[in-house]
Every structure is written in C-alpha cells, then in structure tokens.
Amino acid sequence: MKVTIDGISIDVEPGTTILNAARKIGGDIVPPAMCYYSKLEGSGGKCRTCLVKVSKGSEKDPRPMPKLVASCRTTVMDGMEVQNITSPEVLEARKGVVEMLLINHPLDCPICDQAGECDLQNLAFDHGTAKTRYEFDRRTFHKIDIGDKIQLHMTRCILCYRCVFTADQITDHRIHGILNRGDHSEISTYIQAAVDNDFSGNVIDVCPVGALTDKTFRFKNRVWFTKPVEAHRDCDHEKCSGKVTLWYKGEDVLRVTARKDVYGEVESFICNTCRFDKKKTSDWVIEGPRKVANWSVQTANHYEMLHPLPVVKTNPVLQEANKNQFERETRL
Amino acid sequence: MGRKLLLTNINVPGINTFDVYHKNGGYASVEKALKTLSPDAIVEEVKKSGLRGRGGAGFPTGMKWSFLAKPEGVPRYLVCNADESEPGTFKDRYLMTYIPHLLIEGMIVSSFALGANVSYIYVRGEMMPQIRILEKAIAEAKNAGFLGKNILGTGYDLELYVQPGGGAYICGEETALLESLEGKRGNPRIKPPFPAIAGLYGCPTVVNNVESIAAVVPIINEGGEEYAKIGIGRSTGTKLISAGGNVKKPGVYEIELGVSCEEFLYSDEYCGGIANGKRLKAVVAGGSSVPIVPANLFLKTINNELRLMTYESLADGGFVSGTMMGSGGFIAFDEDQCIVRNTWNFTRFYHHESCGQCSPCREGTGWMEKVLHRLEYGHGKMSDIDLLVDVSKKIEGNTICPLGDAAAWPVASAIRHFRDEFEWHVTNPSEALTRNYGLAHYADPLPKKEEVAS
C-alpha cells in the first residue's frame, strides 16, 4: 500500500498504522508518541500528541477525514495522504496537547531522575511553549512504593496506560491500574499492594516520564553524567533476553535498563534479576558503547576524557570509541 | 394538537402493566413483525421511515442497522442505551417509568430485525426504580410468551437483560457503554473498529437510544412511509422533548418534528411560556452539550426565518448562530439567569465526568472549570475569556470520544453569544456577585441582513 506523509511516499504492508509508516520514513515527519508503544498491544490513542491530518482518505474514497486522527491507531489505506508537520492545524493541536499534558505536570525536572531521557521533556522542548497559561494549583499525590524496587510518583504521571499494558502483557498478573476518573485518575495498586513479579521492573522502562522510577537508582546520579554501555549476559529466565544497557559512573554500574531504540522503546524486555541485582561489571559481557543521538544531553561528558575510566581501559571497543570521541571533541 | 405516537396511551391508568398495555394494542408490532415480516424487511421499513437516532447525534437508525456486520457463527447483540445522564434530558426515564412495555416491545422487534438472540438494556445506575420497573416488565412479557424461547411459536428466541450502569455519564458513549457492560472500566474505545463490526465481546453490536427503539414500534405498526409523513424534510416522526428551566409547564412533550420553536415554547399545549411573567434570555435546545443560543437566535435563524424544532432548522447557521437537536433536553433561561454561572455549572459537570483517558479532555475540562469559577466569583481577568475560547478549541475534535466536544461547545458558544456578560463579570466583579446581568440585548430583534453591493 502506498501512503504519502508530508509529501514523502512509502510502500507499507496493509494494516500498518500511519505512525509506523512515518517511522519507516523517519526524520522530522515522525509524529511524537507518548502513550503508543509498539511492543504493547492495544496501547496508543490516548495522549493525542500524534494527531495528524488525513487530507486524502484513500485512492477509492479521496475525501479527507473530518477530524485530526491519532496516527498510532489509524491504519493506512492505499493512496492515503497524510499531513503532519506541513499542516498548521496539526501543529496547533499538538501544541495544545503538550500544554494540556504539562498543566498538571510538576515540571520538577531539576530533581527528577528521568530528566535527560524523558519523553515529555523532549516533547515539551520540541512542541511546547516557554510559558504556561495555567495559573492554578497543580494536582499532587503522595509518592508511594509499589514493591521494594519501584517508586511511583503519581504527580508526574501523564496517564499513558503503558505500565498497565506492560503488566497485562509482559507479567503474569497485574495488580496496579487506574483508579478514579478525570483529572483525579491515578495509577495505583488496590489497597497498596506491592508489585512483585519477575518482570515488574519493565514498567520503569516503559514510563515516558519520571512517574515510575528505579529505587536502586533514585537520586544516585544524573543521566548525562553516566556512561551508557551495551552489554549482555546469559540470563536463565526463559523470557529475558539479557540484552541491556549498563549506565556507568566511574567503575560502578549505577543502573541497568533494557536497550531503547530512537523512539524510546525497549528492544526486548528484561527480568528483574538482570535489572536490579546484577550491578557488577563482572556479571556482564560488554559489547560496546551505546549510540546516543547527537542532540541528546546524554552525550555530555561521555568519552572525551584524557584519562579514561577503568572500565574503558580494559575494553578495546570502549577504548576505540573513547579515542574517536576524544578526537572529535578536541578538534572542536 | 400534534400527533402522538409514543405517548398515545400515556394517560391510561395501569399502562405500565402488561395486561393494560396489551389490551390497548400493545405488542401488536411484535406479532406483525415476527409473523409477517422478515428481518431485512423491518430494516428496510425503518430505513424508509427516516428515523434518526434520538440519543443526540441524529444518525439515521436504519442506516446504522444496515451497517451491522453479519458473519456466520458469531452472535450479534442489540444494546439499548438507557444511560441517560445529560443535564436537561429526562425523556428516557419518563418513557421507562410510565410505559416500560413500549421499550420492551421495541427491543423485541429490533432484536429480531438485527438477528440478536441476547439483548441488553443498559440503564443508568442512578435509575434504580426504572431498573426494577423494567425487570418487572420483562418478567411479565416473558410470562406472556413475548420473550424467551420460541416467541409466539415463531421459533425466534430472545433473552433480554437489564444491566444497571456504574453511574458515569461517559458510559452513555456507545463504546464506553460496551466496555462497562463487559464489566470493565467505562473508557471509550478508540474507533475504528466501530461497534457494528466489533462491539460487545468483540461481536457485531448495535447501540440505540431508548427513544429510537421505542419509535420502531409505531414504524412497524403503521409502516415506514406513514411514519415519514410526519415531520419536515429529513426530520421525520415525533420526538420527545424534556422541557425544563424557567418554563411555565416543564415536563416531557412529544412533538411532531417541525413545530416552530416559538410555538413549542409559548403555546399552552407545550411549555406555556416563561414562568412568572419573565422574558426569555437564552435556550439550550438539546441537552447541556449543545451550543447555547440567545433568545433572538433561538426563535429566528440568522436569516430571519422562523426556527423550527427539527434537526436541520435548529442546526441552521452551524456553530456560529445555530445549535443542535441533541437529545431533546430543552432548557430555557429567563432574564434572571446568569450565563456565566450556568456555563461554569455545565463545565463543572464535564470536568467531573471526564473519564481521564485522553489528555485534552482530562486536563482541559478541569482548566476551563477553574477559569470559569474564577470569572463567576469575581476574580477573572479580561484575558480569561480568550483563554477559554482557546482551550475549548484545543479540546474540540482532538479527543477520543465526543465528550470533549460536548464540554467545549457550551463554553465556546456562551462566549460567542454572551461575551458582554462575561466582560461585565470582569469589569464589575463586586456587582456580579450580588446581581445578574439581566436580559440586555439578547432578545432584541435580529438586525436585518445588510445588502452587499454587488
């Protein structure tokens, strides 16, 4: 099926969503997505940041769609023409959605562990306005611990439902969900039960904001001071791939996460043992430095050191990367 | 005197019981439909009647039925949407309380037409008395052989269930209703797929309003063409209007579509004019979610034509100067009512009822409520008015379900038509707390359309 997004045509399989077609093309025309997660079935359609305009329905029925549609849940038709960044209407609506997402968000990025790898931060930077027009108290919640490894800070939540889908589909049972409705709705467990499951840690990775954070990493360090390194181990859990990113500070592994792609989605889910308990370099086989996009703050302080860290010294791949980075930085 | 089709026998004592209802010609349509008509013929008849959905959107019912997918081996469902929670609308409750058998009769005929063997009536949770009434009526109909296995010896089986709702306005949205009926949280689904393809338990489903289903009874009894003769243009048949607010005689009226708005509001047959000798200021014509219009624009369209109670005429002028038929929740405001306060009240309702699934509605309704609260209580700023318009624009059309639109329209229209009242609330905050703005120019005759030199 042929679909044209912002004037760029691509052939895709029937049943592909507009968002996935745009991701195949790549670049600026990919609509941002806060709630859609390609690994989770049924996700998407809620945050409305991925709204696009369908200016031509299909070859058969060329009428445009009357409203903006959520690109993550709308499948392409043959000959469909979609406008994303070429439509002022879409940009205006997206600006509105970002504003809505931010009015009850605490904007506590300076003390938030997610800062630097936060989808909402990126979204607000790209599409938001510098000032808010909201002049009322923001909704707040108490922090609660769901399980001994995960902390829920509901105030930051944007209710994307990703963690609910994760618990449904990745773990064997779900005990957290949405309580209440409207802007009172919150992610919570019924009567403060603990989320205890081999795969529960994945909710931290899927959370687009800092609402679900790793208690073993909380306030340990900023993301941009740590050095991400790809590694793997032979995990005996049958569903765990063992492919992770280690976040180093000096010689210590501060945090283990699953590997995320350019859209912030994990490549494969990992078990809690890998995530929380294996924090020594000797537990892992190091593959090489993680590729971080140039625009990301995560590139700060990475490999430009004259005196490389001990973990770099012992690994030829990291040494090579360090050298390249060093040359690039010093040339500038 | 307009013709009545649904409420013909409303004043017969004991019409809520099966015996009296049956004696007065009730269940004739079931016998006619099941014994003489094929399901397709019934759908065709409803199509011919031009019946439009009475729940608010006004989508042709026959067309909706013909969209129903009919795969082999998959059950189909008919669900009656009795989750009537729109502020201002109470027609379905009235119908279910006083002639429950009309709804049951309509359900049997409609289920037969759609080939459904299990049908549900999803009743708003707060309407417990009506739920009991319907359950009793279903039991009576079952005893008489109109429900259950092999109805009237025709071999058609139908089980009818009443499901009390969870008590949320959002469950009146058809996909949220289906979620709730399945026992889940009442969040609207993302469409497509539409319920006609994958609805209740993933099976093809039709969701219809109580009044739409009840209207099938006279259509089958008299024939679709006969029904289509009532009304004007594409607005055929009769409609229940629940009149409330400052009218002399509030209540549920059955009107022939095409009665003029003036007649409906002022004639003694219907509302009987504004109570206590006051003057009309504004009207919400079809339940809280439709745009509010000032008195002059309600009685006449912008082109100085008489406005009629039809889907088309009420919508004449679009959102700029028109409103909508909606679900028939007619609210009249007299000169002593404060539009700002009313808008705040409506917004408070939508804020409370937003399901919280998609962000513009979840955050925007609360925002609008807070700003309107500030305006109403004298802390507003001039810029708030434009802010409200902007926020309502950001919500409208960008949400999963129509609740976002329903929350945005009253605000946008109130500011469009009553902007000077909002401004007066900002410039005279202390006065606004003690007295109301009054009628001002809202009932003045509309200005003549200016001749544009060609």
- Is residue B435 predicted with pLDDT exceeding 60? yes
d(CA A230, CA A245): 5
Q: Where are the beta strands (DSSP E) in chain A?
A: 2-5, 8-11, 51-56, 69-70, 80-83, 143-145, 150-153, 176-179, 186-189, 212-214, 227-232, 243-249, 252-258, 285-289
* B170 and B30 belong to one structural domain: yes
Q: Report the pLDDT value the prediction gives residue A316, as an integer from 0 to 100.
A: 82
Chain B positions touching A96 (Cβ under 8 A) are 360, 391, 393-395, 398
Give the DSSP H or E segment for B294: strand B292-294
Does the residue B36 lie in any domain? yes
Out of B352, B360, B367, whose CB is closest to A97? B360
User: Is residue B441 classed as helix, strand or coil in its secondary structure?
Assistant: coil
- Which domains, from first to last, does chain A contain? 2-96 (3.10.20.740), 105-214 (3.30.70.20), 223-331 (no CATH)
* B207 and B347 belong to one structural domain: no
Q: What mean pLDDT comes out for the span B403-417?
A: 94
- Is residue A36 predicted with pLDDT exceeding 90? yes
Does the residue B157 lie in any domain? yes
Q: Which range marks the domain in which residue B414 is found?
A: 339-434
Q: Report the pLDDT value the prediction gives residue B2, as an integer from 0 to 100.
A: 75
A137 to chain B, minimum CA–CA distance in Å?
10
Q: Report the pLDDT value the prediction gives residue A314, as an integer from 0 to 100.
A: 77
Close Cβ partners of B329 (under 8 Å, ≥ 6 residues apart): B86, B87, B88, B89, B90, B91, B242, B244, B284, B286, B287, B288
Instruction: Work out how many CB contacts closer than 8 A connect A with B.
Output: 90
Total residues found in chain A within this entry: 332
Q: Report the pLDDT value the prediction gives residue A172, as an integer from 0 to 100.
A: 82
d(CA B90, CA A278): 63
Query: Which of the 8 DSSP states describes residue B67?
Result: T
Q: Is residue A296 very low, low, confident or very high in pLDDT (cuts 50, 70, 90)?
A: confident
Q: Report the pLDDT value the prediction gives residue B304, as an integer from 0 to 100.
A: 86
d(CA B243, CA B285): 9
Close Cβ partners of A72 (under 8 Å, ≥ 6 residues apart): A17, A18, A19, A31, A33, A35, A36, A43, A44, A45, A50
d(CA A56, CA A80): 5
Whether the CB-CB separation of B273 and B247 falls below 8 Å is answered with yes
d(CA B421, CA B413): 13
* B124 and B102 belong to one structural domain: yes
Q: Is residue A309 very low, low, confident or very high in pLDDT (cuts 50, 70, 90)?
A: low
Q: Report the pLDDT value the prediction gives residue A331, as an integer from 0 to 100.
A: 66
Out of B170, B360, B365, whose CB is closest to A48? B360
A105-109, A147-151, B40-44: least confident range:
A147-151
The structure tokens 């030829």 sit at A316
Average pLDDT, chain A: 87
* B166 and B214 belong to one structural domain: yes
Can you give the CATH number for the domain in which B420 is found?
A: 1.20.1440.230
* B244 and B189 belong to one structural domain: no
Q: Is residue B365 very low, low, confident or very high in pLDDT (cuts 50, 70, 90)?
A: very high
Can you give the CATH number for the domain in which B185 is found?
A: 3.40.50.11540
Q: Report the pLDDT value the prediction gives residue A297, as an integer from 0 to 100.
A: 75
Tell me the pairing of strands B329-334 and B280-284: antiparallel
B306 to chain A, minimum CA–CA distance in Å?
30
- Is residue A308 predicted with pLDDT exceeding 70? no
Q: Is residue A295 very low, low, confident or very high in pLDDT (cuts 50, 70, 90)?
A: confident
Tell me the pairing of strands A80-83 and A51-56: antiparallel
Q: Report the pLDDT value the prediction gives residue A302, as an integer from 0 to 100.
A: 56
Out of A93, A133, A159, whose CB is closest to B362? A159
Does the residue B103 lie in any domain? yes
The total number of structural domains in chain B stands at: 3
Tell me the pairing of strands A227-232 and A176-179: unpaired
Can you give the CATH number for the domain in which B243 is found?
A: 3.10.20.600
Mutate to test the interface with A, among B355, B363, B371, B395 (most CBs of A within 10 A): B363
- Give the residue from chain B lying closest to A68, CA to CA: B398
Q: Report the pLDDT value the prediction gives residue A262, as an integer from 0 to 100.
A: 86
A43 to chain B, minimum CA–CA distance in Å?
10
Does the residue B114 lie in any domain? yes
